[in-house]
Amino acid sequence: MFVTIISFEEQMRGWLASCAKARTPEQYEIAVWRLNELRLDFEDRAVLIFDDRAVAEFKLANSATPISMNLRDYHRVPGLQVEDWTA
């Protein structure tokens, strides 16, 4: 099974945020346990890096219009047009 480094980065960022938001030792214990589970999960996977070929594909795809229900995050990218077809 292959996954992208982008998937790893997004999941890692989410669990790190959970660790930072923990307000009790119990909450922190759960957050770091899940962070460690992510680390262990990715040990057995082939991770595709964001290399020169990925950059070239990104630049080609950059003229496409992303479709997402999460417009908030996409609107942070200057000049990017995004649509929510569920609206």
Tell me the C-alpha distance between 35 and 29, whole Å: 10
Q: What is the pLDDT of residue 38?
A: 94
Q: What is the pLDDT along the chain (87 residues), one digit of tens a residue?
A: 688 888 899 999 999 999 999 999 999 999 999 999 999 999 988 999 888 888 777 777 767 777 788 788 777 777 778 888 887
Cα 32 from chain centre: 18
Q: Give the tokens for residue 44.
A: 């057995």
Alpha-carbon distances of 48 from 7, 53, 76, 85, rounded to whole Å: 10, 11, 26, 30
Q: Where are the domains of the chain?
A: 1-50, 51-87
d(Cα 73, Cα 80) in Å, to the nearest integer? 11
84 phi/psi in degrees, rounded to 5:
-110, 105
pLDDT the model gives residue 51: 86
